[in-house]
Chains A and B, each alone.
Chain A
Amino acid sequence: MAVKFDLNEREVWDGNYAASQALRQADVDVVVAYPITPSTPIVENYGAYVGNGYIDGEFVMVESEHAAMSGCIGASAAGGRVSTATSSQGFALMAEVLYQASGMRLPIVLNVVNRALASPLNVRGDHADMYLGRDSGWIQMGAFNAQEAYDLALCAFKVAENHSVRLPVMVHQDGFITSHTAQNVYPLTDEKAKAFVGEFVPVDDMLDFSRPVTYGAQTEEDWHFEHKAKQHKALMDSRTVIDDVFAEFKELTGREYKRVETYDMEDADVVIIGLGTTVETARVAAKNMREKGVKAGVVAIRCFRPFPYDEVREALEGAKAIAVTDRSSPGGAMGAFYNEVAAAMYTSKSRPMVTGFVYGLGGRDFSIEEAERIFAEQQAHADAGHITTDIQQFSGLRGPHLGFFKTARG
């Protein structure tokens, strides 16, 4: 029997601590981990909860992130509730195994504290690691602050373990800005949190000796395609389950989450659409722009995978010019997020102008002033009736202007 952990109605937690408390309250059976900055405290805290008797679980230290996710797969296939955390290079080392977890339909929850990928080596937050996971078949949720890192971690277990989903979930938070900034967090009581997440009900667990099963079968051209299609369908179908879990969470806490969040979008002409902590910066900038008479709004992606095409199109249909913000070096293409938003808007009635901004790499600050400048630029496009700048631009970069591609619709 676990020792009771005293909680106040309001706590001052950073994003890492908030996520680790969610793991404790969800009664996670096994955490297999290889700690890496800036996500280390999540698994470190879980280990301390085990060591101090606050949770009846098992903490397994392994030799690499590849082994960490492999251990999670083993424990999850055995029939346990399993979670871990990682960042950046650790995430990259896990990449091979991420596809195994989703292909085997194992409901592991991975807390990803977003951090840039080397080289150059960098411990600060950008979204390079998050983007690396975008085709891995995991559900990807994004928290913009510590409270959301806690809330979404609880929701993640409930979504992943739903028997019609059975897919692993990543809960992302931005390195340092969220993970190491202490903020007010309102936790659920242990009883409420446990009741919300629910008992773990295993599927095809390997410890059921009356029904031995094989995980990790090999399939070639005659079977592989059908299995991947079924997996993709499950990921697409998880959208309604995510909506249901968010609705239940709102019922319980009053805190509302949507797969696409909108701010000041009722009459917005110009929009910044973003991921992570950038959203809160853009919201402040939008308010400032409105005081100057610019109808500015913000759209945020709460659920990056499965990508919410319908909701993005619906949210942006009334806009004239949209700035898509990619916090990952696109490596010789438009940003991935830009591509997805542009694809969604291509099939809209209004076909608003969409430009992309590469920004904030390696933790470079994204300021309110820069967000305001981007809004003003969108207003210029709207006034001119065509894109007046390069379609892809770098934002907050020193040196001469860097941008690529012009519109053919000018």
Chain B
Amino acid sequence: MSVESQDLNLCANDNRGQLQLGAGAGLVGWDEVTQGIVLTSFNGDATGIANKKAEERTYSEFNSYTASVASWRVNKPVFNRDICIDCQNCWVWCPDSSILSRDKQMLGIDYDHCKGCEVCVEVCPTNPKSLLMFNEHADLDESLAAWPEKKKKEKK
């Protein structure tokens, strides 16, 4: 298990998580803001965009996809490829679409949008779990090294 599989830009196109909220970039005057605070989600014609993968979509600067909205996360989920069975349970349950998966294979976490809610850990069925919560600042290699052993079934 290497840290590369937890690449932070996993499955990202060029502009995912690039903007920092409240960074003050691009502030314009009252005469230039959009009418009714109506914001476009994509640049250009978006016909059929629902059938495209996230990294192929032309997300606009107004779309939260292009912003990092995870600054208040305290604990982060860490993904352990060696144990995962690709059941997609975490992908189904994640409320922030932050589980990155392609062709039914779990790839990792979108740390620009994950809020650290722990739902993915809760629903993970493997033993030990393939997703566990660590301190936001914990090193990924150290986290994986500290992974618990398989628990024996307790006899009733």
Given A214-B62, A222-B24; A105-B46 close (CB under 8 Å): no
Residues of A within 8 A of B74 (CB): none
Given A214-B62, A230-B31; A204-B36 close (CB under 8 Å): yes
Q: Which of chain B's residues has its CB closest to A166's CB?
A: B35
Residues of A within 8 A of B38 (CB): 104-105, 204, 213-215
Q: Which 5 A-B residue pairings sit nearest by Cβ, starting from the closest?
A: A105-B36, A229-B30, A226-B30, A212-B41, A204-B38
Residues of A within 8 A of B22 (CB): 220, 222
For residue A223, CB closer than 8 A to chain B, the reply is yes
Contact A103 B37 (CB under 8 A): yes
Q: Which residues in window 45-79 of B have CB below 8 A to A?
A: 45-47, 49, 62
For residue A347, CB closer than 8 A to chain B, the reply is no
Residues of B within 8 A of A219 (CB): 37
Q: Which of chain B's residues has its CB closest to A102's CB?
A: B36
User: Binary interface profile of B, 22-45, with partner A (CB < 8 Å = 1, else 0)?
Assistant: 101001111101011111111001
For residue A405, CB closer than 8 A to chain B, the reply is no
Q: Which of chain A's residues has its CB closest to B29's CB?
A: A226
Given A209-B46, A213-B41; A226-B33 close (CB under 8 Å): yes
Tell me the count of chain B residues lying within 8 A, CB to CB, of chain A: 21
| CA A225 to CA B30, docked complex, whole Å | 8
For residue A106, CB closer than 8 A to chain B, the reply is yes
Q: Which of chain A's residues has its CB closest to B45's CB?
A: A210
Residues of B within 8 A of A231 (CB): 36
Given A209-B46, A213-B41, A214-B41; A104-B36 close (CB under 8 Å): yes
Tell me the count of chain A residues lying within 8 A, CB to CB, of chain B: 28
Query: Shortest Cβ distance from A116 into chain B, in angstroms?
Result: 33
Contact B41 A215 (CB under 8 A): no
For residue A227, CB closer than 8 A to chain B, the reply is yes
For residue A398, CB closer than 8 A to chain B, the reply is no
Query: Shortest Cβ distance from B22 into chain A, in angstroms?
Result: 7
For residue A333, CB closer than 8 A to chain B, the reply is no
For residue A233, CB closer than 8 A to chain B, the reply is yes
Given A209-B47, A222-B22; A233-B40 close (CB under 8 Å): no
Given contacts A210-B45, A233-B30, 20 further A-B contacts (CB under 8 A): A105-B35, A105-B38, A210-B46, A211-B42, A211-B45, A211-B46, A212-B40, A212-B41, A212-B42, A212-B49, A213-B41, A214-B40, A214-B62, A216-B37, A217-B37, A223-B27, A225-B30, A226-B33, A227-B30, A230-B35
29 A–B contacts from the bound complex (CB under 8 Å) = A104-B37, A105-B35, A105-B36, A106-B36, A166-B36, A204-B35, A204-B36, A204-B38, A209-B46, A210-B45, A211-B45, A212-B41, A212-B42, A212-B49, A213-B38, A213-B40, A214-B62, A215-B36, A215-B37, A216-B37, A217-B39, A219-B37, A222-B22, A223-B27, A225-B30, A226-B30, A227-B30, A230-B33, A234-B35
Query: Shortest Cβ distance from B102 into chain A, in angstroms?
Result: 23
Q: Which of chain B's residues has its CB closest to A214's CB?
A: B39
Contact A213 B30 (CB under 8 A): no
| CA A392 to CA B43, docked complex, whole Å | 58
Contact B24 A103 (CB under 8 A): no
Q: Which of chain A's residues has its CB closest to B50's CB?
A: A209
Q: Which of chain B's residues has its CB closest to A164's CB?
A: B35
Query: Shortest Cβ distance from B3 into chain A, in angstroms?
Result: 35
| CA A334 to CA B47, docked complex, whole Å | 56
Contact A227 B24 (CB under 8 A): no
| CA A106 to CA B37, docked complex, whole Å | 11
Contact B47 A227 (CB under 8 A): no
| CA A9 to CA B29, docked complex, whole Å | 52
Contact A226 B40 (CB under 8 A): no
User: Binary interface profile of B, 9-33, with partner A (CB < 8 Å = 1, else 0)?
Assistant: 0000000000000101001111101
Residues of B within 8 A of A233 (CB): 30
Query: Shortest Cβ distance from B69 into chain A, in angstroms?
Result: 11
| CA A210 to CA B50, docked complex, whole Å | 11
Residues of A within 8 A of B36 (CB): 103-106, 166, 204, 215, 231
Residues of B within 8 A of A220 (CB): 22
Residues of B within 8 A of A214 (CB): 38-41, 62
| CA A217 to CA B29, docked complex, whole Å | 18
Q: Which of chain B's residues has its CB closest to A219's CB?
A: B37
| CA A66 to CA B35, docked complex, whole Å | 24
Residues of A within 8 A of B40 (CB): 211-214
